[in-house]
C-alpha cells in the first residue's frame, strides 16, 4: 500500500473517539454529500456490523451526519451535528441492519431532495480511510483520496474510448478506472480516479459525447 502522507498511517486530525467509527464515518458522509451535490433534505442511513452495534457509543451517528452537513474530521461541531441537522432542515433516520456485509464498518446512505435521489455504500477501513463500494447499486471502488470522475453512460461500443480520449488530450492522468453494468446494453457506470481536478470545460466536453447520461466530478474528501 502506498501512503501519501504520515496522516495515512497515524490517521487524520479528528474529533474522536475512533478513527474508524468517527473520522471514517465523517469522510463517508462528506463523500456522500459531494456526490449528491450538497446536503440532502432526507437521509436514510442503514448501519451494518460494527457500525450498527456501536454507532451511538462511538459517535458514528453524529459523524455521518456531520459529513452530510459538510463538516470535516476535526470540526468541533461534530458532537452537535444531529441538532444542527434539524436546524438546517436535514431529516435523518438511522436503520439498524442485521445483514452481513463484506466489511464490518459499513453504512448505506440513501439521500433525497425532491425528485433527486442517490444511494451510496461506504466502508471505513481504518485510520480514517474509507472506500465507496457502491453507487445506486453499481459496484465501484473509490477511495476518496483523489478526485474521481463518475460517468453514467449507455453500454455501447466506443463510449469509454471517447471519454478516455478527451482525458488524454487534456493531459489528465487516470490512476484507476472501473466500469460496471447491471445488464448488457443498458446503463453503465464508469469511474475514474484522477491525479488532478479537472475544470468544467473538460466535464462539459465529456457530457456532449454520444451515450453519456450524467457526469459528476467528486473532489477529495
Residue 2 lies in a domain: no
Q: Specify the pTM.
A: 0.82
Verify that 160 and 89 share a domain, yes or no. no
Max Cα–Cα distance, the chain, nearest Å: 50
* Whether residue 120 sits in one domain with residue 66: yes
- Burial (0-12, 13-18, 19+ Cβ within 10 Å), 115: exposed
- Cα–chain center distance at 127: 17
- Asked if residue 1 belongs to a domain, the reply is no
Q: What is the CA radius of gyration of the chain?
A: 17
Nearest to 122 by CA among 46, 15, 18: 46
Is 43 contained in some domain?
yes
Q: Is the residue at 7 inside a domain?
A: no
- Looking at the fold, whether 100 and 19 belong to one and the same domain comes out as yes
- Ranges in the chain, pLDDT < 70: 1-21, 220-221
What's residue 221's pLDDT?
59
Report if residue 92 sits inside a domain. Answer: yes
Q: Is residue 55 part of a domain?
A: yes
Residues 97 and 93: their CA atoms lie apart, in Å, by 13
pLDDT of residue 28: 94
122 with 193, same domain: the answer is: no
pLDDT digits (tens, 9 = 90+) for 134-145: 999 999 998 878
Domain, as residue range, for 158: 148-218
Closest CA to 68 of 105, 96, 34: 34
Q: What pLDDT is recorded for position 19?
A: 55
> 106 and 190, same structural domain?
no
21 and 103 in a single domain? The answer is yes
Q: What is the DSSP letter of 79?
A: G
- Please check whether residue 105 is in contact with residue 125, taking contact to mean a CB–CB distance below 8 angstroms: yes
Looking at the structure of the chain, the number of domains it has is 2
Amino acid at each position: 500500500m502506498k501512503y501519501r502522507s504520515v496522516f495515512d498511517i497515524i490517521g487524520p486530525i479528528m474529533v474522536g473517539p475512533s478513527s474508524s467509527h468517527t473520522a471514517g464515518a465523517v469522510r463517508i458522509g462528506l463523500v456522500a454529500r459531494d456526490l449528491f451535490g450538497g446536503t440532502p433534505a432526507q437521509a436514510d442511513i442503514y448501519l451494518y456490523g460494527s457500525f450498527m452495534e456501536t454507532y451511538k457509543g462511538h459517535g458514528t451517528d453524529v459523524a455521518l451526519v456531520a459529513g452530510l452537513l459538510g463538516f470535516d474530521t476535526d470540526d468541533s461541531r461534530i458532537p452537535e451535528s444531529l441538532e444542527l441537522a434539524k436546524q438546517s432542515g436535514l431529516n435523518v433516520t438511522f436503520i439498524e441492519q442485521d445483514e452481513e456485509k463484506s466489511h464490518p464498518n459499513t453504512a448505506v446512505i440513501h439521500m433525497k431532495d425532491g425528485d433527486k435521489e442517490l444511494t451510496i455504500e461506504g466502508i471505513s477501513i481504518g485510520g480514517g480511510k474509507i472506500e465507496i463500494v457502491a453507487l445506486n447499486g453499481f459496484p465501484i471502488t473509490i477511495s476518496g483520496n483523489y478526485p474521481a470522475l463518475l460517468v453514467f453512460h449507455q453500454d455501447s461500443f466506443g463510449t469509454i474510448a471517447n471519454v478516455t480520449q478527451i482525458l488524454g488530450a487534456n493531459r489528465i492522468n487516470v490512476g484507476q478506472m472501473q466500469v460496471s453494468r447491471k445488464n448488457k446494453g443498458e446503463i453503465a457506470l464508469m469511474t475514474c480516479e484522477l491525479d488532478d481536478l479537472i475544470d468544467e470545460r473538460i466535464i462539459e466536453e465529456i457530457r456532449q459525447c454520444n451515450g453519456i447520461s450524467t457526469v459528476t466530478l467528486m473532489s477529495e474528501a
